A and B are shown apart, each in its own frame.
Chain A
Amino acid sequence: MSVVLAKGAEAMLFLEQWYGIRVVRKHRIPKSYRVESLDKRLRHERTIREARTINVAKRAGVPTPIIYSVNLETATIIMEYIEANRLMEHLETLSSSKQQKVFKQIGKSVALLHHTHICHGDLTTSNMLLHTSGKVYFIDFGLATTTHSIEDYGTDIHLLRRALNSTHHTSWRECFNAFKDGYQNEYGRGASRIFRQVEAIESRGRYITERIR
């Protein structure tokens, strides 16, 4: 039994039975538009990164799926199936106070990641799952990096702000503020330095006067 769960940009996700348990098989499919050697390099690299960082993130206390098996030849990962909704479609259905609670938690998790020197690399609401328990799971660590530079942590936060601003433009400000709260509480000293770096990164972009905030 194999059901297509989702078709992402990089990978196909299948819901399957595996030794008697329900699992997700994530297969990074070859892309015909790019040179073969580049394609292989990227899929190989990202499969390793994802498997490795998900485990580290889990140990740091960030909710992530359990990795069961990795096949580098086919760029496939078998992982725990989490019965939850993608935050992207679900965020607008939540009350404002619930939204802020969720983002406070996301802030805490991202701070935990950064404390463990992990950058997620693609923090959008399509990569977060909201469980009925209220827990937010992080998925898709294919672009994650291990890093000690606040420039990278800043980029991570900048990407989240960008994603909120473009996808959830009605409530993004409150959500981002809640995120900031959660992040600062968990990260403690040094958090303000990282948020200053976010400003620096954004001011370096093309044609910046003052962004609409």
Chain B
Amino acid sequence: MFVLGIESTAHTLGVGIVDADGKILADVKSVYSPTEGGIHPREAAEHHQQSCLLVLKDAMDQTGISLRQLDAIAFSQGPGLPPALRVGAVMARALAYTLKIPLLGVNHCVAHVEQARFFSKAERPLVVYLSGGNTQLTTLESNRYRIFGETLDIALGNMLDMFGRAAKLAHPGGPKIEELARKADGTYLPLPYTVKGMDLAFSGLLTAAKRLLKEGADLVTVCYSLQETAFAMVTEVVERALAHTQRTELLVTGGVAANKRLREMLQIVAKNHSARFASVPPKYAGDNGAMIAYTGLLLQREQIETPLSASHVMPKWRLDQVKIEWH
């Protein structure tokens, strides 16, 4: 059995193919990168339209199987940027309809979590999902990913990218900030620290960090202070959630999970609470088609198909709205 997955929620157009065991046979992507500013939804969609057939062909060639051998088509139905989502949806509908095979609408957040669980083999983890669009702490409980904490305004990755833009660093800003912060001498400039129970807010921190830059503070020092503050906030809520849920596994996923400093901090907390630390392989931290294909496989096993008439994109589809029938 082969499931093909299409990812197109934001800047990545990805196609992945998995077999019946979830093994990744192909994972190809093309990433739109804006020349200046952040992701422009229409430009992202145009990029996806132009690259989707090439990416699809590449992925098929890697596996050596033909389209006729596919058993189902999965696509990320949301959440994400509507124009970008539509490209993946149109592609998926066309394939499923022509090949007369089931169409599977996948929640992008669920896919990140499921792929991380697949790699880590974690049984009942507390999952920390940190990316450009999401900042959530969640555990699976009675067929739903229950959200224990999340951002009240912008996502962690989004905050880093926005700061990066203000500092005229190339997109995405996160990795650049990490690189600069590593050069710091340990001078820490106080910044707002906003933790509300297990929820977080990053907008005040962003404003204050941008103001420091404007006032002429050293960029390396600001990057360091920004990272230290933001990551300490995340680590604190993770620690609170670990103490609250008493889970013994901590699993980190999403694009920001690739940050070494953040992983280091989370590892310390996991150790303090005798929890096993696991993280998605850096290669799959960002958006990818393989995670959609894998989650599609899980849906296919439970025979949860998406009829064409219900395959409209869902730009605001939350993680906790999905009923989880597997596990």
Contacts and interface: CB of A to CB of B under 8 A. Distances in A.
B320 interface: yes
B317 A207 contact: yes
A205 interface: yes
A121 B147 CA distance: 18
Contacts of A207: 78-79, 133, 315-318
A126 B244 contact: yes
A45 to B, nearest CB: 9
Contacts of B139: 166
Interface majority SS on A: helix, strand, loop or mixed? loop
Interface stretch (B28-36, B98-106, B150-158, B291-299): B150-158
The CB with the most chain B CB atoms within 10 A, among A33, A38, A122, A155, is that of: A33
A110 to B, nearest CB: 13
A42 B193 contact: yes
A51 B264 CA distance: 33
B229 to A, nearest CB: 7
Interface string B245-270: 10000000000000000001100110
Interface string B264-295: 11001100000000000000000000000000
Contacts of B317: 207, 209
B198 to A, nearest CB: 8
Contacts of A77: none
The dominant DSSP class at the B interface is: mixed
Contacts of A37: 188, 190
A21 interface: no
A170 B59 CA distance: 44
A167 interface: yes
A206 B188 contact: no
B148 interface: yes
Question: For the side of the interface on A, what is the size category?
Answer: 35 or more
Interface residues on B, range: 35 or more
A1 interface: no
B197 interface: yes
B185 interface: no
B241 to A, nearest CB: 8
Interface of A: 7-10, 31-35, 37-38, 41-42, 88, 121-124, 126, 143, 155, 159, 162-163, 165-167, 169-170, 201, 204-209, 211-212
Interface of B: 78-79, 133-135, 139, 141-142, 144, 146-153, 155, 188, 190, 193, 195-199, 228-229, 232, 235-236, 239-240, 242-245, 264-265, 268-269, 314-318, 320-321
Q: Closest 8 A-B residue pairs measured CB to CB?
A: A9-B240, A166-B146, A34-B232, A9-B243, A33-B265, A159-B197, A122-B197, A207-B79
